[in-house]
Structure 1
Amino acid sequence: MWPVLLLGLVLALVPSSHQRGLSMLDIQDIVDQLGDEIITHQGLSQDKGNVPIAAQQDLTQQYGSSDQNEVSDVPHPVKVHNWGEKLDIGQLVSVDVDSQDQPIILHRGNVVWDETSFDKSFELKKRSLIPNDTVLTLDPDTGVVLNSWGANLFAMPHGVTTDDDGNTYITDAGLHQVLRFTAGASKPDLVLGKAFIPGNDNSHFCQPTSVAASSKAGIFFVADGYCNSRVLKYNQDGTLLKIINGNWNVVHSLALFEDDDVLCLSDREGQQIDCFKAGLDRPKHTNTDDNTGKKIVSYTGVGRIYGIASKGTALLAVSGKPSVRGITIDTASEDQSILDQWGLNEGLTFPHDLAISLTGDTVYVADSGLQRGVLHKFEVVRSIEDF
């Protein structure tokens, strides 16, 4: 694992009989308790194929889902049923949480991405903007919409990211652009890329997918994406600092470990997660050589990972068909272990993104669906008996 990470903190319950929220727990304590029950990534498929049936069965027996009598002591997301049922949205593509720990979701309104949406040059066939409000802020307790905006701004939105300064970043795969909005603004203060024009040079994107932002460092990263399969690093003014290339297929999601200067990406069709140096401490106005992009670790054979999210030293991910599930990876472990799988038999169909609450006790999964999206809420508990 990356050398700057020590065996440390991962999502866990506050050790109190009066509280079910999360604090952080030393991973080594978990490892000591579980011993051989820790599942390493070598136990998954190593040829970028499906997870072997036997391995799936073993994992289910150990970690199971919410309809079993008990689960492992590893912090485990369990679905909250009947939450947000009144949410009426189109294809749900992304979720994040804002500075008030409220979920922010991004959906496509009356637009659906299917095999007819783009031509062979990756240009959107129907060049029109979505008339619906596509960005919604929800009440974390009820799932009720508190605020909405984004009508007539986006064509095929793909990802939403918020930062500590209250900015909201939207990637639009149809516009081939990244747009940043300050808090409460209806117009972007920063636009990168050329509207509806794909490209692979320094001023163009081709179906960008995700953003990871560090307000502390004044830096953000763009996953670009479906066609270019690269990551671009910018300062807060939108100046390009570096382009990170790799042997990737579809760079679909980003997750940043700010304190450890590590950026991870999911290569969806490559069925792997790669982590490398983020270079957050480098000058923000120059393209001088630095260690940004230096490879640290790869998690292979993890399935078609659509979304990843970080908290402490835990990396959570959701994978699509044929093995629909959530997984929790211990980034501080030397054996690159997968601590848990979750979301089995919980109604996940097309999980596209996920987010972890600021307090670490809730996980939201954006399920795109075929026509209508669903936002799943999970509470992180050690055991079903804690309910």
Structure 2
Amino acid sequence: MPKIEHSFLNIFNLITLLLILSSCLQITYSWNYEYPALVDSYDYKDTLPKPTLFNKVNRDELENGESHLIKEWVIGGKVGKNVFGECSGISFDNKGDLYVLHRGKRIWDINSFNHSHFNHINDGPIKEKTLLKLNPKDGKIVDSYFSKKFYMPHGLTIDQEDNVWITDVAMHQVFKYEMGNFAKPSLVLGTKFKAGHDNYHFCQPTDVAVSSTNGQFFVSDGYCNHRIIKYDANGNIISIFGKSDSYWLGSQRQNFLMTPHSLALIQNLDLICVADRENSRILCLKAGVLNMDNLDIYSAYNNPRLTNFLPRFSYKIVDNKGHNYRPYAISYCTKDGKMYVLCQSDNENTPFIALSGELSLQDDTLNSVSWYQFPISSRPHDLTVEDIANSNDKNIYVADLSQMVWKLKETGNE
């Protein structure tokens, strides 16, 4: 009998110890994030689709085969006069002009941040004009904007009304400007140099996607919060997807994002897709921008179950050597249903590649049809696609952190 009591006592003590440890861990986590976010607490395990392959990338074909994505020109880098810094964002306006976001002489390296805090605030904003307007035919600079505005610009989006959206990972802010009126932003979200995890702060936001029908927009918040936030046209939060404790828990559960790095809103399919970089996948969620009756336009305080972010599709990119590919940027072409992806193998000694794939909603697959392999020295970061009228051909423009801009052409191969 004493042995049995001793055994029960040991079990009781073990359970008590585990509860104490769990409580301590939770307290430690709350110290890291002063204001917990109002995230979607819905359990997605029964609704999230199983990851499907963005066809297997054949490394041998990449090295020896015909790619269908052909380099037309590259500017910057060591070619000619270098007017670019690290090129982080790229987008078209509705007139067909190409815009590139770059960082001037500022470099993002291991000394730039202490966790989320930017170490070079005292250096002031970037002196060079960080937004360049290019002629897409030859890459020549037409105009430039935004001197002494940003500290570490990251994402660039130009919406259907030609509003210019820029994210800054040092300032932890998102800015909206009316085209041609760059003196003052029409909307600013986040608090300057103040990272946070609540509804009023970002932590290194990466990208923006905007609905063409109602002005609602999405922000990928980004390197440390690992979430996507949906707003109405006035900047009021509608809903949030993602849980930023994925790294801390050492977990890759499927409703966790790990560095949501780029967004693509597929308006006609009511999908918001995210390049979930460190999970090596593209995740597409219900955007809720088409059916007004089903939109969850209510305060997150009243209902934590924010159902308009139900996951729809999840795509993995792998090669025939068994390596996963981390997507850095995605762009969708409505005309032919192709998704364009910039990605790099988890074997970092391999170069970046650009892929285009046909998005199939019938069998939940992305069929890889075209690719381009970049030089090992380049660091592509963002891309945008230009349709060519009356042709199956397309132009793909790539912003490269190696201070370059690329123009690739996809030949009609259908």
- What TM-score bracket applies, with the shorter chain setting the length? 0.7 to 0.9
Counterpart pick for 2:373 among 337, 340, 344: 344
Which residue is equivalent to 1:368? 401
Shift of 1:348: 7.0
Which residue is equivalent to 2:9? none
- Look up the SS of the partner of 1:81 in the other structure: strand
Question: Contact conserved, 2:175 with 2:185, CA < 8 A, in 1?
Answer: yes
Shift of 1:292: 2.1
Q: Distance between the aligned counterparts of 1:379 and 1:59, measured in 2?
A: 16
Counterpart pick for 1:88 among 76, 83, 89: 83
Q: Which runs of 5+ in 1 are unaligned?
A: 1-39, 45-50, 66-75
- Give deviations 1:118-164, integer Å, cap 9, x for gaps: 003x1101112111100111001121111111111111100000001
Shift of 1:43: 5.5
Q: Distance between the aligned counterparts of 1:81 and 1:149, measured in 2?
A: 24
Which residue is equivalent to 1:248? 257
Q: Distance between the aligned counterparts of 1:90 and 1:119, measured in 2?
A: 22
Q: 1:345 to 1:131 in 2, by over 3 A?
A: closer
Higher RCO (Cα < 8 Å, 6 or more apart)? 1
Q: Which amino acid aligns with 1:77?
A: L
- Look up the SS of the partner of 2:73 in the other structure: coil
Q: 1:330 to 1:286 in 2, by over 3 A?
A: same
Q: 1:179 to 1:219 in 2, by over 3 A?
A: same
Q: Which amino acid aligns with 1:342?
A: W
Q: Distance between the aligned counterparts of 1:189 and 1:83, measured in 2?
A: 32
Q: Which amino acid aligns with 1:319?
A: C
Q: Which amino acid aligns with 1:248?
A: L
Question: Contact conserved, 1:348 with 1:367, CA < 8 A, in 2?
Answer: no
Q: Distance between the aligned counterparts of 2:192 and 2:74, measured in 1?
A: 39
Matches within 5 A, 1:162-177: 162-177=158-173
Q: 1:232 to 1:167 in 2, by over 3 A?
A: same
Matches within 5 A, 1:294-333: 294-302=310-318, 303-312=325-334, 313-320=337-344, 321=348, 322-332=350-360
Q: Distance between the aligned counterparts of 1:139 and 1:130, measured in 2?
A: 24
Q: TM-score, normalised by structure 1?
A: 0.77
Q: Which amino acid aligns with 2:180?
A: G
After superposition, the CA RMSD in angstroms is 2.3
Q: Which is helix-richer, 1 or 2?
A: 2
Q: Distance between the aligned counterparts of 1:99 and 1:310, measured in 2?
A: 16
Which residue is equivalent to 2:66? 64
Shift of 1:81: 3.1
Question: Of the two, which has the highest radius of gyration?
Answer: 2
Q: Which amino acid aligns with 1:338?
A: N
Q: 1:355 to 1:348 in 2, by over 3 A?
A: farther
Counterpart pick for 1:41 among 53, 71, 94: 53
Q: Distance between the aligned counterparts of 2:90 and 2:296, measured in 1?
A: 28
Question: Contact conserved, 1:325 with 1:348, CA < 8 A, in 2?
Answer: no
Q: Which amino acid aligns with 2:378?
A: T
Counterpart pick for 2:149 among 153, 163, 171: 153
Question: Contact conserved, 1:318 with 1:326, CA < 8 A, in 2?
Answer: yes
Q: Which amino acid aligns with 1:57?
A: D
Matches within 5 A, 1:104-253: 104-120=99-115, 122-127=116-121, 128-186=124-182, 187-245=184-242, 246-253=255-262
Which residue is equivalent to 2:16? none
Counterpart pick for 1:293 among 306, 309, 324: 309
Q: 1:290 to 1:228 in 2, by over 3 A?
A: closer
Q: 1:341 to 1:115 in 2, by over 3 A?
A: farther
Q: Which runs of 5+ in 2 are unaligned?
A: 1-51, 243-254, 319-324
Question: Contact conserved, 1:327 with 1:338, CA < 8 A, in 2?
Answer: no
Question: Contact conserved, 1:279 with 1:291, CA < 8 A, in 2?
Answer: no
Question: Contact conserved, 1:101 with 1:358, CA < 8 A, in 2?
Answer: no
Q: 1:83 to 1:152 in 2, by over 3 A?
A: closer
Q: 1:345 to 1:228 in 2, by over 3 A?
A: closer
Q: 1:311 to 1:82 in 2, by over 3 A?
A: closer
Q: Which amino acid aligns with 1:273?
A: I
Q: Which amino acid aligns with 1:126?
A: H
Q: Which amino acid aligns with 1:317?
A: V
- Matched residues, number: 321
Q: 1:240 to 1:211 in 2, by over 3 A?
A: same
- Look up the SS of the partner of 1:255 in the other structure: strand
